[in-house]
Amino acid sequence: MLEVVRHDVLIVGGGGAGLRAAIAAVEADPRISVGLVSKVYPMRSHTVSAEGGAAAVARDDDSLEMHAKDTVKGSDFLADQDVVDYFVQEAARELTLLEHWGCPFSREPDGRVSVRAFGGMAAKRTWFAADKIGFHMLHTLFQHSMRFDRIVRYDEQFVTRLLVDGGAVRGVAALDVREGVVRVFLGRAVILTTGGAGKCFAFTTNGNIKTGDGMALAYRAGVPLKDMEFVQYHPTGLPGTGILITEAARGEGGTLKNSEGERFLVTRDYGVGQKAELGPRDMISRAIIQEMMAGRGIKGPYGEYVHLDLTHLGEKKIDERLPFVRLLSTTYAGVDPVHQPIPIRPVVHYMMGGVDVDIDGRTLLPGLYAAGETACVSLNGANRLGSNSLTECLVFGARTGRHAVAYARGASDGDESRLRALGQEEAARIDALRGSRRGGERLAGIRHDMQHTMEQGCGVYREQPSMQETVRTLAQIRRRYAALALDDRSKVFNTELIAALELGNMLDVAEAVANAAVARKESRGAHTCFDFPKRNDQEYLHHSLVWFGEAGPRVDKKAVTITRFQPEERKY
């Protein structure tokens, strides 16, 4: 007999956005109970890996207008400006709450929270905790959430399906990783906060768990994904592993140098002007690739790289401000940044796109909400500024949590027997997949081929032939996925089964990315095409929507909200 668990609101994913949404939900209404369902223990969520900081206006030399303008310009004018206005206005309040809850922010001698410079930001407004803000933010939120008995955690429960009845979401089906059984979780509102999908690519900063689960859940339920073609390549990842070296390294004064020791962002025109290393991520990543194409990269065992030089900062500053960078560089690249430059190359880091939601986190499917990297609320447009995403998790996690509660109060439970039947169907699907030999295709091989074709077609620089080739290859890979051969028949902690389900999710997301990329015949933000090198506001100043279809994805458009900042040439 299928076990059924009931809460008012369900949150899928226990990272920054999910935990913030959970806290906001229980604070919004003393009668509301929240089920927090996560495929990992919340402190393992990938928020943990964020390093540099979180943005909010904090000083007299700064203003909300400046933060808004930087964000809109950084987005290459594809951010929705009403969303940006709300974001900059709430940012400091949210970071202040995080501070009250115990986050160990770095401090000035007078006791104020310190702020640092970040890429594309005109003033110092990035609050930080040395170079481990994500770790501290996640642990602070997780520990604070434990105060509330009405936040009930379901750890290591992998949500595989949204349960839709009568045109609204009424719950989810989740596989208990430890026991191998499927359970039905009923809730009148469901918030997706599962993070991004960097693992669709071979070379990424993202952890193993970032497989686009929430995006795929919504997409399969008929909710469009928005602006999926915009994949952020962070300029500074360690070759081989893809481990992130934070932008704070440049915020603190680090410089980028080519094989000739030349500080190319200063000596050559890459459009970043005086900002140099503190230009926005899309532009810096392009500059690095251009240097490599011009033969000024450095060859290494894991491909070409350039240098991130911190040696002039001195040991004291590095240990105080960038201790994690030193540890990562020493442990994973064998280079001590106090004495030697760090080898780095652009690496897939963040999905600007995600589940299409409005400013309240609402999707077009009643009862379904999303926040954080899973969602696309259109704060980031075509290129996100570093340190805006952690604040986004807080600002829109909280707002979405409150709106989901308001919706849940007025919504009905749906027909339990029908929802239970959907859960049974899902249990049968998973039982049939576990240890099944549908053909001879190996999981790791399919995943490898997907990750490599995504890199081929959807890299820093793109062009129609290779993007179209990736679309075709993904369609073949989907057929191969149907012929998967799995070995593990055990119910208990079957990570092969989990990986197979995750691969299915990633294939959905990858197809959405590649199809949206083919459809955008211009260069904007992180989507840069050799064959269409200019931004084209006449034809493409709009969001892309990708809809799931049995015959393949369908790409559509949606208007962008422009209020006070009119599109202009993006030059720094």
Partner 1 sequence: MSELPKKTFVITRFDPDKDQVPKTQTYEIECRPDWKVLDAINFIKDEVDPTLSHRWSCRMAVCGSCGMNVNGEPKLTCKTSLAEYGDVVEIEPLANFPIVRDLVVDFESFMEKFRSVKPWIIRAKEKAPEEGTCSQSPEELEAFRHFSMCINCMLCYAACPVVANAPEFLGPAAIALGHRYNLDSRDEGAAERNEIFRGEGTIFECSYANECSEVCPKNVDPAAAINQAKLLAVLDWAKGLVLPRKGGS
By annotation, the residues acting in catalysis are 234, 250
- One of 89, 106, 259, 340 touching partner 1 (CB under 8 A): 106
Both tokens of 356, joined, read 């299409």
Looking at residues 177 to 196 of the shown chain, list those that interact with partner 1 (rule: CB under 8 A): 178
User: Per-residue x/- mask for partner 1, residues 373 to 412, rule CB under 8 A?
Assistant: ----------------------------------------
CA dist 134 and 129 (Å) reads 9
First to last CA, the chain: 62
User: Per-residue x/- mask for partner 1, residues 61 to 100, rule CB under 8 A?
Assistant: --------------------------------x--xx-xx
- One of 111, 261, 410, 440 touching partner 1 (CB under 8 A): 111
- Using the rule CB under 8 A, is 438 a contact of partner 1? no
Pick 324 or 369: Cβ nearer partner 1: 324
Both tokens of 256, joined, read 């980028």
- One of 55, 218, 244, 348 touching partner 1 (CB under 8 A): 244
The residue type found at 131 is D
Pick 26 or 221: Cβ nearer partner 1: 26
User: Per-residue x/- mask for partner 1, residues 117 to 136, rule CB under 8 A?
Assistant: ---------------x--xx
Pick 442 or 554: Cβ nearer partner 1: 442
Q: How is the chain split among helix, strand and coil, in percent rounded to 5? A: 40, 20, 40
- Using the rule CB under 8 A, is 243 a contact of partner 1? yes
Total interface residues for partner 1 by CB under 8 A: 60
Label residue 466 exposed, middle or buried (CB < 10 Å: 0-12, 13-18, 19+): middle
Scanning 118-126, 285-293, 351-359, 487-495 for contacts with partner 1 by CB under 8 A, the matching segment is 487-495
- Using the rule CB under 8 A, is 209 a contact of partner 1? yes
Pick 293 or 492: Cβ nearer partner 1: 492
H helix or E strand, kind and range, residue 464: helix 464-481
Both tokens of 106, joined, read 């770095």
Closest CA to 77 of 518, 535, 532: 535
Asked if residues 327 and 130 have their Cβ atoms less than 8 Å apart, the reply is no
Helix 416-433 and helix 495-519, axial crossing angle in degrees, nearest 10: 100
DSSP bridge partners of 115: 127
**Closest CB 178 distance from partner 1, rounded Å:** 6
- Using the rule CB under 8 A, is 483 a contact of partner 1? no
Is the four-CA dihedral 42, 46, 48, 50 of positive or negative sign? Answer: negative
Q: What is the CA radius of gyration of the chain?
A: 23
Scanning 75-83, 325-333, 409-417, 473-481 for contacts with partner 1 by CB under 8 A, the matching segment is 325-333
Asked if residues 459 and 346 have their Cβ atoms less than 8 Å apart, the reply is no
Residue 372 backbone zone (phi > 0: left; psi -120 to 50: alpha; other: beta)? left
- Using the rule CB under 8 A, is 299 a contact of partner 1? no
Chain positions contacting partner 1, by CB under 8 A = 40-41, 43-46, 48-49, 93, 96-97, 99-102, 104-113, 132, 135-136, 139, 143-144, 146-147, 155, 178, 207-209, 240-241, 243-244, 324, 327-328, 331-332, 334, 443-444, 486-488, 490-496
